[in-house]
Chain A
Amino acid sequence: KAGVTQTPRYLIKTRGQQVTLSCSPISGHRSVSWYQQTPGQGLQFLFEYFSETQRNKGNFPGRFSGRQFSNSRSEMNVSTLELGDSALYLCASSSMPGGEQYFGPGTRLTVT
């Protein structure tokens, strides 16, 4: 079974731009969660999608948004990028909310 895939793996953007990150979960998994990892704040929950519905959202500004498609693939979008958005963005999939999570390799975003 293929693991969780994330694209792109690396990204460099300029302040003010927007970015879209993609996550393909393990086949059969319907829950996708997103996390932001920074040296200062650690791993923080962004949001979770299950069956195309946002189930939960972490404490992040509205510039961070996401969606899930009918095939369970998910995208997250960050608009009006700030320097502080530079981070490793990790996606995890599970068969159901609260189930065992499997992480992708992450997308490393650098904002200059």
Chain B
Amino acid sequence: GIQVEQSPPDLILQEGANSTLRCNFSDSVNNLQWFHQNPWGQLINLFYIPSGTKQNGRLSATTVATERYSLLYISSSQTTDSGVYFCAVDDGQNFVFGPGTRLSVLP
């Protein structure tokens, strides 16, 4: 089956810093989503982005499907950005999740 990798596994930032999270996948995909899991376990939709670039406030994402990767950019990070960020890809059968990047933003 399809393999999904995320890097880095852990990231610690000072408030106000910028960061880039990466998601690599081993085969072509139909769709890709980015999620933020808050400390209470709720998965929050960030982007539904099978290809191209999207922006939402301080967050933006780019997926290059032909090269099998997606990037999530977080600018001017805030403490509320802390949590785990997952990418999930649709391989035509179901969504496969990566292992996540744990982000800690320090005040």
Interface residues of A (CB under 8 A from B): 33, 35, 37, 42-45, 48, 56, 58, 88, 90, 92, 98-103, 105-106, 108
6 interchain pairs, CB-CB under 8 A: A37-B41, A100-B45, A101-B33, A101-B45, A103-B45, A105-B41
Q: Which residue of B lies closest to A106 (CB)?
A: B41
* B30:A98 contact, CB within 8 angstroms: yes
**Chain B min CB distance to A94 (Å):** 9
Interface residues of B in 8-52 (CB under 8 A from A): 30-31, 33, 35, 40-45, 48
Write out the residue numbers on chain A whose beta carbons fall within 8 Å of the beta carbon of B66. Answer: none
Contact B99 A100 (CB under 8 A): no
Instruction: Identify whether the interface residues of B are mostly helix, strand, loop, or mixed.
Output: strand
Question: Chain A contacts of B48 at CB under 8 A?
Answer: 100
With an 8 A cutoff between CB atoms, is B81 at the interface? Answer: no
Q: Is A33 within 8 A of B41, CB to CB?
A: no
Interface residues of B, Cβ cutoff 8 Å to A? 30-31, 33, 35, 40-45, 48, 86, 88, 90, 92-97, 99-100
Contact status of A33 and B45, CB under 8 A, knowing A42-B100, A105-B40: no
Name B40's closest neighbour in chain A (CB-CB): A105
Given contacts A90-B41, A98-B92, A106-B42, list 14 more A-B pairs with CB under 8 A: A35-B97, A42-B99, A42-B100, A43-B97, A45-B95, A56-B93, A90-B43, A99-B31, A100-B31, A100-B33, A102-B45, A105-B40, A105-B41, A106-B41
